[in-house]
Chain A
Amino acid sequence: MNRLDKLAEASVRSVARRTSRRSLLASLGALLVGGAAVPLLPIARGAEPPAKGAARNGGADDKAAAKAAALQDPQSCEYWRHCAIDGYLCGCCGGSQHSCPPGTEMSAVTWVGTCHNPVDGLDYVVSYNDCCGKSTCGRCLCNRNERDTPIYIPFQSNDYNWCSGSSKGNVAYHCSTARIVGQAR
């Protein structure tokens, strides 16, 4: 296993254990994040030291393939657009990375991140619009905090419930999308 693989293993735990607006129960995290796919360390997290107890060997080819698949899987926390997301993935809740599940409403305002797409090598501005109006979806919770800011810098903060800005004044949070707004320049 190369260094990046070790780092990816380390991120299994850290991704699942972020403490933020929408964090998950430890058992749920192990089930959804650890069990669903082998997570991949986001590109910008390469400097993080390996966590104690990180896996050391075995199945390198399989893991590399799984990582590559996860990077392109909208239902994976490691999907490239999810670099600053914090919430339940709408793709697991009846919607997609850019659409809300039936019967919910997309928040008009939200926070944005800048994520790197390893396929075309470009950086994109990604808008994490929440879907609102129903109880919490509870599936595929994902929290990554690249360039996340405190809530006094609102539009780069994933600690707000952005359903607060929905047209009906409704704050019931259901899930989060990851819409491409445009290429980052």
Chain B
Amino acid sequence: MGCQHLRTVWASAVAALAAAATTGAAPLPADPLSQVESLPLPPAPHWVWVNDFAFSHMANGKAMLVDGDSGRFLGELDTGFGAVRIVLSTDGALIYSPETYFSRGTRGTRTDVVTIYDAARLAPVGEIEIPPKRSSNMPMIANAVLTDDGRFLLIYNFNPAQSISVVDTRARTFIGEIDTPGCALAFPTGARAFFSLCADGALLKVRLDDSGRGVAHERTAPLFEVQTNPVTEKAVRRGDTWYFVSYDGTIYSVIIGRDGADLTAGPHWSLTSDSERAQQWRPGGLQQLAVHAGLNRLYAIMHRGGPETHKDPGREVWVYDLDRHARVQKIPMQHDSGSILVSRDAKPLLFSIFIESNILDVYDAASGRHLRTVPDIGTTPTIMVGP
């Protein structure tokens, strides 16, 4: 320590004493050691989890938690190679994360697990090993979903054989695989039922027994045209209806009947008018639809471009009444939007991210007013989930 530095320290100490003498205030107490924050449960309705695919360094994906009301970064989970999404338990107390690891970082033995995290401490409390074949793809909500009762976790496999791994979250065990040849992803339709999307536009309906084993498979007739104007995998659900959107912006609905196994095609309608289609308005993005059950609203990221722009971001979110199939609002976006999520509460927020940026935009979902922009959210934010 040099003389100059010593003089600085003494000068600071003298100044502090003088200040204390002036104000009469007691000096600050020492801070506690090893203090670690924890989060209240259940999660607040305006919290949002943002998945970071970490594309330039895929071995250490993340899930990042942000409070939409304050913009405060609350914490994160490290979710391994090619992280697609986390899944929140129904009561919000636990988080299930399908993860992939290699014994030597990016090489060596591959191990796939579902890590169970305590949602308050954001720390692992359990781990369930699953077959090392979890699909590695651009993150999609349908990569990993819970059955409607929250008990069974369904995880899409692709190597390139296609199947679904079933995990019992109550017993914390891997149950088994359900083969889904020619069909991808999982869309829950009940406590013991889901469907996968097939390459010919059909749905593969699967029923589970109470132990989580697949007991019945049935393929519907093709419901979607897949050659020129396919529906994306980026569907959203409101109650008993799944809403899919095609490249040209046609909404196709799949209505869930009794026991979740009776699926029928509902009405289809367009997000755009004839003149808007002529101007090549269409939806785009990675998580391009959102829904709010209470408001009965569908939200879609819109842009202008040709058929091959189905993954492009947009600068507008168009809002539709799901009963009338009519647009009721246009929300201008502050920045390019590739993924949106609307919180489920009565005063919902609209969240927006884009993989080529690292900001989170927060809007009032009812008025469309931009509330805040949260900076430095990972490196390649992909999709979002909320409580």
Q: Is the CB of B159 within 8 A of A169?
A: yes
Q: How far is the CB of B67 from chain A (nearest CB, A)?
A: 25
Q: Are A21 and B138 in contact (CB under 8 A)?
A: yes
Q: Interface centre among A134, A144, A172, by most B CB within 10 Å?
A: A172
Candidates A23, A29, A109, A135; contact of B57 at CB < 8 Å: A135
A 128-142 binary contact with B (CB < 8 Å = 1; else 0): 000001111010000
The answer to whether B308 touches A146, judged by C-beta atoms less than 8 angstroms apart, is: yes
Secondary structure class of chain B's binding surface, majority of residues = loop
Closest Cβ of chain A: how far from B181's Cβ, in Å?
11
Which residues of B lie under 8 Å from residue A102 when comparing CB positions?
Answer: none
Taking a contact as CB atoms closer than 8 A, the residue among B55, B135, B197, B357 that contacts A160 in the complex is B135
Contact between A152 and B58 (Cβ–Cβ < 8 Å)?
A: no
Q: A165 and B159 in contact (CB under 8 A), knowing A24-B356, A172-B59?
A: yes
B55's partner among A23, A29, A153, A164 (CB-CB below 8 A) is A23
CB-based contact B380/A23 at 8 Å: yes
A184 adjacent to chain B (CB < 8 Å): no
A163–B160 alpha-carbon span in the complex (Å)? 10
Within the assembled complex, what's the spacing in Å between the Cα atoms of A138 and B379? 13
Which stretch of B120-128, B168-176, B257-265, B280-288 is in the interface?
B280-288
User: Could you tell me how many residues of chain A have their Cβ less than 8 Å away from some Cβ of chain B?
Assistant: 47
Q: Is the CB of A145 within 8 A of B136?
A: no
- Give bound CA distance, A136 to B56, whole Å: 6
A134 close to B185 (CB less than 8 A): no
The answer to whether A134 and B106 have CB atoms under 8 Å apart is yes
Binary B-proximity of A6-24 (CB < 8 A = 1, otherwise 0) = 0000000010111111111
CB neighbours of A22 from chain B (8 A): 55
B184 part of interface (Cβ distance < 8 Å): yes
User: Which residues of A, 106-162, contact B by the 8 Å Cβ criterion?
Assistant: 109, 133-136, 138, 143-154, 159-161
Known A-B contacts A14-B312, A172-B58; A23 and B356 likewise in contact (beta carbons under 8 Å) = yes
- The smallest C-beta distance from A22 to any residue of chain B, in angstroms, reads 6
Please judge, given known A-B contacts A29-B356, A151-B140, whether A48 and B199 are in contact too, CB under 8 Å: no
- The residues of B that contact A152 with a CB separation of less than 8 Å are 183-185, 196-199, 233
- With A19-B284, A135-B57 known as contacts, the answer to whether A26 contacts B357 (CB < 8 A) is yes
* Contact A153-B107, Cβ < 8 Å, known A19-B285, A21-B138: no
Asked whether, in the complex, the Cβ of A21 is within 8 Å of the Cβ of B137, the reply is yes
B286 pairs with A19, CB closer than 8 A: yes
A111 to chain B, nearest CB (A): 10
A159/B138 in contact, CB under 8 A: yes
Main secondary structure of the interface of A (DSSP, over half): loop
Q: A150-B230, A172-B58 are in contact. Are A25 and B380 (CB under 8 A)?
A: yes
Hey, which chain A residues are within 8 Å of B56, CB to CB?
A: 25, 136, 138
Q: Which residues of A contact B250 (CB under 8 A)?
A: none
* Interface status of A65 (Cβ within 8 A of chain B): no
Residues 81-118 of chain B, each 1 if its beta carbon lies under 8 Å from chain A, else 0: 11000000000000000001010011100100000000
- Please, how many angstroms separate the alpha-carbon atoms of A48 and B356 in the complex? 22
Among B59, B159, B306, the residue within 8 A (CB) of A45 is: B306
- Is B305 engaged at the interface, CB distance under 8 Å to the other chain? yes
Determine whether the beta carbon of A160 is less than 8 Å from that of B158: yes
1/0 contact trace for B140-151 toward A, CB 8 Å? 100000000000
| B:286-319 near A, CB below 8 Å | 286, 304-306, 308-313
Determine the chain A residues whose CB is within 8 A of the CB of B280 once the complex forms.
Answer: 48-49
A171 touching B100, Cβ below 8 Å: yes
Report the Cα distance A150→B232, complex, angstroms.
6
The reply to whether B304 and A133 contact each other, CB–CB distance below 8 Å, is no
Taken together as a complex, chains A and B put the C-alpha atoms of A109 and B160 apart, in Å, by 8
Tell me whether B310 and A171 are in contact (CB under 8 A): no
Task: Please pick, from B106, B184, B336, the residue contacting A151 in the complex, using a CB distance under 8 A.
Answer: B184
A15 to B357, CA, bound (A): 15
A-B contact list, 20 entries, CB within 8 Å:
A14-B312, A18-B311, A19-B285, A23-B355, A25-B356, A45-B306, A45-B308, A135-B59, A136-B55, A143-B311, A148-B310, A149-B226, A149-B230, A151-B158, A153-B226, A154-B162, A154-B199, A165-B160, A169-B132, A172-B59
